Structure 1
Amino acid sequence: MSFHGESQPGAVPTPPETEGFRFNHSMLRVKDPERALAFYSGVLGMQVMRRLDFAEMNFSLYFLAHVDDASRVPEDVEARTAWTFSQTGILELTHNWGTENEEDFAYHDGNAEPQGFGHICISVPNLEAAQAWFDAHDVTFVKRADQGKMKDVVFIKDPDGYWIEIVQADRMAAKGD
């Protein structure tokens, strides 16, 4: 017997017409792409898969991912673009040109009132090592693994103030009821 999802109020059986649908990416708006890319690549280990510029609308999109097998990523730009949009777990950073020059400019992080968007999550192989890595790179913590009611879960902030949950998968197995 194969898994068909937990039974929850409002959840219905997966319609056959949705076969092949996949979650591709989430988007965060960033003030300064250079700062954001330094954080997501240098601190979180993501690679830029593709940058798309839209000059007529004054914005750029940066698609980032953790790549398990770089040899599978096409070198050809058009093929890599199509490949990027066929993956799962991609992060899109959107930069509206000029925001990096506005001193007081900031996006709503989703956690301040009124709350909305909450966070993205990165799974790591060793939570303590990741926490030490973040300390070494002066990352802002919202919550460390030993703080709060939910232990073994870390929350950090990116340069734009967005929250990022950091988990170690095997430590999550017994969470919840």
Structure 2
Amino acid sequence: MKSTFLHANLNVFDLEKSLAFYQTALGLTECRRMEAPDGSFILVYLSDGTTPFELELTWLRDRTAPYNLGDNEIHLAVRVEDKAAAYALHREMGCICFENHDMDLYFINDPDGYWIEILTSGRDAR
């Protein structure tokens, strides 16, 4: 059997804050949206404009508290063309949460605490 990745889902507490973060920090843009007829949820799909992979942000109307991510042992990974510029932006945004200088990578965290690994475009993400 062969499969193809389509999207990954992250549940978010504040949809507008998350959309602004992903647009500013990673340049992702909304490519489609689905809203429940009763307003109970909104799904927003973000694209990098290059690959077919999408990030789905799910907002649930009845959610009253931020998500508990447990040990937060999962993460997304992205490549950036200009690591120095990305690092400067992320530092200015105050979202860098971990750096590994030996491996030449760092992580940022989004408004809900999800981690995103930042790699240079020439580095294999493994």
Structure 1 length as normaliser, TM-score? 0.64
- 1:129-157 Cα offsets, whole Å, 9 max, x none, are 21111112222x221252xxx42111110
**Are 2:46 and 1:41 aligned?**
no
Higher helix share: 1
Higher strand share: 2
Displacement of 1:170: 1.7
Alignment of 1:17-166 (within 5 A): 18=2, 21-56=3-38, 58-68=40-50, 88-99=52-63, 102=64, 105-109=65-69, 112=71, 118-139=74-95, 141-146=96-101, 150-166=102-118
Q: Structure 1 stretches (4+) deviating beyond 4 angstroms?
A: none
* Partner SS, residue 22 of structure 2: helix
RMSD: 2.2
Aligned 8 A contact 1:24 1:90 in 2: yes
Pair member with larger Rg? 1
Percent identity between matched residues is: 33
* Partner SS, residue 55 of structure 1: coil
5+ residue gaps in structure 2?
Answer: none
Structure showing greater relative contact order (alpha-carbon pairs closer than 8 Å, 6 or more residues apart): 2
* Partner SS, residue 170 of structure 1: coil
5+ residue gaps in structure 1?
Answer: 1-14, 69-86
